[in-house]
Copies of this chain bind each other. A is one copy, B any other.
């Protein structure tokens, strides 16, 4: 009980491996993913600021660093399961939120409860910070899938991951999305040009969708 329980629980996320089941050349823990999301989001927010957008850095810090904390309680449920129906998705989110709430009630001292309730809420809302988090989360999906495709991993799952993340990102209205599409993605595609998998075609098809 107490903040100690919370601090110690963070360790569990280093033992949850993303995308379980499929063959991967590189495995990634939820902790490492979370850290990369924090890093991407920082640069994406810098791009917004350089375009005159105001960033609430405290909020961005809170929602990016904690965005997958709930996986301690529910695990890394496969995306197709989560998305199989709106009803199931809602119910899973409700269970996750219920477990987080129970954890806060049982472990967090009274004076910090409001802070934890705010921090461990779902962060992907319509604010600029919420949208940056969404882009950063998908960006790591792109980097993880790209690293597999580039090494010739033929599991279809990684094409799906790469493609669906591009489609999701390009639909979000942010300056940093433009920057990603114009300045980052072309470098990535060019680097992957000697892969046995035709990354350029997959990318172009996704962009044209």
B184 near A2 with CB under 8 A, answer yes
Bound-state CA distance A71–B81 (Å) is 11
Contacts of A187 in B (CB 8 A): 1-2, 4-5
Contacting residues of chain A (126-166) with chain B, CB-CB under 8 angstroms: 139, 143, 147, 150-152, 154
Contacts of A31 in B (CB 8 A): 29, 31-32, 35-36
Say which residue of B23, B98, B147 sits within 8 Å of A84 (CB atoms): B98
Contacting residues of chain A (182-206) with chain B, CB-CB under 8 angstroms: 183-184, 187-188, 191, 194, 196
A13 at the binding interface (Cβ < 8 Å): yes
A3 near B75 with CB under 8 A, answer no
B13 near A42 with CB under 8 A, answer no
A40 near B7 with CB under 8 A, answer yes
A65 near B88 with CB under 8 A, answer no
Q: A11-B143, A20-B17, A21-B12 are in contact. Are A74 and B81 (CB under 8 A)?
A: yes
Bound-state CA distance A102–B112 (Å) is 43
Contact count band on A? 35 or more
Contacting residues of chain A (38-75) with chain B, CB-CB under 8 angstroms: 38-40, 42-43, 46, 50, 55, 57-58, 60-62, 65-66, 71-75
A168 at the binding interface (Cβ < 8 Å): no
A123 to chain B, nearest CB (A): 13
Contacts of A65 in B (CB 8 A): 35, 38-39, 42
Contacts of A196 in B (CB 8 A): 194, 196
Q: A2-B184, A36-B31, A191-B4 are in contact. Are A80 and B85 (CB under 8 A)?
A: no
Say which residue of B7, B72, B73, B85 sits within 8 Å of A184 (CB atoms): B7
Contacts of A85 in B (CB 8 A): 91, 95
A87-114 toward B: CB 8 Å interface, digit per residue (1/0)? 1100110010011000000000101100
